[in-house]
Chain A
Amino acid sequence: MSKVSEQQKSDFSSEEALLAAAHELKTPLTIISHLVSTLRDDSIGLSQLQQECYLERIELTSERMMRLVEGLTQSYRFEQAGEVLHQLELEPLNLTQICEDVVHELTPLASHLGQNVQLQLPLKNRLVVGHKELLQNIITNLVDNALKHNPKDTDVILTMNSQDQLSRLNVRDNGPMIAAAEFKQLKQRLGKQVQPTAYRAGSSGLGLYIAGQLAKAMGGNLGATAHRQGGMTLYVDLLRSRQLSFL
């Protein structure tokens, strides 16, 4: 077991967090409100199948909001209470297993969005040092973010590579291309501040901020790579575990 030794300070003010959270919750709340009003409107004549689909979307959207609020609470707790970070106990974790769990949880959402999440993870060197709950939250945020920007009928792909002391988990989407100047700014601020970007509408970047904060809390790091043909890979670097893989 190892312990994180110092509190990570955020560049992100409480006021910004509040504004970003309000902005980020507006769209899902609008979706729920419009789905409910449509379900209650007899003149629309939705089929039984459509009604069930709309109910499922309400459920998925609520879960998405809940994950965001939970991540924000976790991130705020680490930011405010240094002693929690001092006591954060890290352990060897099977990254492949955690990714599989996250993908399993997000598959209904991906399916409703007409997308697929592909896992291309190795069978060996898959142990990292981390905190299970935080790591689940980070990966969930990265995959959820990718699903938000990935076009219909394309895949979000999770891969992993290891070098020296680090293992890198990559989450690749096929979203719109980003201008070089904008990407440079995004990289500098990733995980430190909200990331509202013009090319990715409607997102305050709060989810990525949360993922960045949680990664830092475990001694990890969040980063991004833009692709010439469009889309982006967001990655999290984690410490590799030297423990023999029996997990």
Chain B
Amino acid sequence: MSRGLAIAGMVGWLCLIGVTVPSCTALREPYQVVQKADEPNDVKVAQEVGILLGDFQIYQEAAVAIGKNDTLDASARLKVVDSARAVKPAMDDLSEGLKQYQAVKAALLAGVTPTQKLEVVTANLEGWYRNANQLFQQLKSDVAGGAK
């Protein structure tokens, strides 16, 4: 193993175990998107849904990478893969909810459906979002907790 790889590995390991080194700060930088205060609630919800679907995709990609990593224990890899697959149906529901919302919004803009229907479908979408997000947060916690 080269000295460079060893140093990179050590820095990474220190980051993982919570030691403060300069490069960890960059890794731990939170990514935030500040939404406009005057944005209608339904638009904010739809943006949040898009973000969660994208976040889940990143988690899936990480799970595939872990699942293929032969240097890791097979049971640990299986746990991550299982968890990523378990939340997928909730994300599918969320995506369907977003499409339903967008169909109603298009109908509203075309003047063929009442405003109340948009409120209902937005409330439904928020419910799907809460459910999917809760499952997503739980799976991350389960994977981390179960592996300790």
User: Bound pair: A and B?
Assistant: no
Write the residues of chain B forming the contact surface with A, with a CB cutoff of 8 angstroms: none
